[in-house]
Amino acid sequence: MVVMGSIAHAHWLVEHGCDGLAVFGTTSEANSLSLLERKRLLEAIVNSGISPARLLVGNGSCAVPDAVELAKHALQIGCGNVLMLPPFYYKSVSVEGLFDFFAEFIDRAGDPRLQVYLYHIPPVAQVGFPFALIEKLRSRFSNVIAGIKDSSGDFENTRRLIAEFSDFQVFPGSEAFLLAALRLGATGCISATANVNAESMQQLFQNWHTAEADEMQSTLNCVRQTFQRYPMIAALKAVLSIANNDENWRTVRAPLSQLSDADTQILLRDLEGLAFKLPRL
């Protein structure tokens, strides 16, 4: 049932505004899934008819062999784009140590189709991608290191990435920064709340240069802020559960907890006040 729900959701996202799907990111609790679970679900998504070219496959591993195994599996079924967390267990590691991790990963993956998108999320991983590391990786692997998802929550960091790496694909990790980032030359955004609000984000993406863009951004911000009052993953899954009358969607893996019934009702009430359209798959 979980696999079927995930596939239905993937197709709904493609049909409702997503140009691509970042599977096995933070919101999909990828680091609570085994390697085998990730492989089987990725195969199921591709076998369901979603083009591998649309997929950005999350690869969060502290061990190089695990990262290589996941990347090779993705490449075998046609998914060349991977979203890479830094090795996040050891803290206060050097730029050289982080570079060695990625250099070994790329060399051992050994596939010219591989395109690596860095996942910068220091509020969660606590280990990030300093500019010196990005510069070093780009210098050595310019044909492989293709872009970055910046979930730092610091727009100055996003602005600097766009300014200093002009040929780099930069995606802010929140739609709250979408319009400002597009005006500077960002590629788009990769956002948790795209799971329920992709169509509105696509509308802004297509019309960011128009007079209505600021109002569109304001509407996106209101929805984002509403979800951010709660643990994001649990809140998104609670809304998907209610919208589709499917309790399976409420499931999260320990150590995460489900959103309480009381908070779910308040969240739904607040979304209704925003005329938010529930994501019925």
Angle between helices 35-47 and 64-76 (to 10 degrees): 20
pLDDT at res. 2: 61
Q: How many CB atoms lie within 10 A of CB 132?
A: 13
Angle 198-146-20 (CA atoms, 0-180°, nearest 5)?
20
pLDDT in tens, 7-39: 999 999 999 999 999 999 999 999 999 999 999
Judge whether 89 counts as a catalytic residue: no
**Residue 254 Cα distances to 33, 49, 137, 229, 258, angstroms:** 11, 31, 35, 21, 10
CB-based burial of residue 28 (10 Å sphere; 0-12 exposed, 13-18 middle, 19+ buried)? Answer: buried
- CB count within 10 Å of CB 260 equals 12
Residue with tokens 């694909």: 169
Q: What is the mean pLDDT of the chain?
A: 97
Q: How far is CA 54 from CA 7, 109, 135, 181, 279, in A?
A: 14, 20, 27, 22, 21
Query: pLDDT confidence of 88, banded at 50, 70, 90?
Result: very high
Closest listed residue to residue 79, CA positions, set 120, 122, 111: 111
Q: What angle do CA 210, 53, 116 make, to 5 degrees?
A: 90
CA atoms in the 13 A half-sphere facing the CB of 89: 7
Q: How many CB atoms within 10 Å of residue 126?
A: 12
139-166 pLDDT tens trace: 999 999 999 999 999 999 999 999 999 8
Q: Over the stretch 168-213, which tens digit does the pLDDT of each residue have?
A: 999 999 999 999 999 999 999 999 999 999 999 999 999 999 999 9
**Residue from 117, 136, 149, 237 carrying the catalytic annotation:** 149
Angstrom distance (rounded) from CA 191 to CA 189: 6
Establish whether 149 is a catalytic residue.
yes
Q: Check if the beta carbon of residue 234 is closer than 8 Å to that of residue 259.
A: yes
pLDDT tens, position by position, 200-247: 999 999 999 999 999 999 999 999 999 999 999 999 999 999 999 999
Catalytic residue selected from 119, 136, 230, 237: 119
**pLDDT tens for residues 38-68?**
999 999 999 999 999 999 999 999 999 999 9
- pLDDT confidence of 1, banded at 50, 70, 90? very low
C-beta atoms surrounding 94 within 10 Å: 11
Q: What domains can you pick out in the chain, each with its CATH number?
A: 2-151 (3.20.20.70)
pLDDT for 166: 85
Kindly state the percentage of the chain with pLDDT values over 70.
99
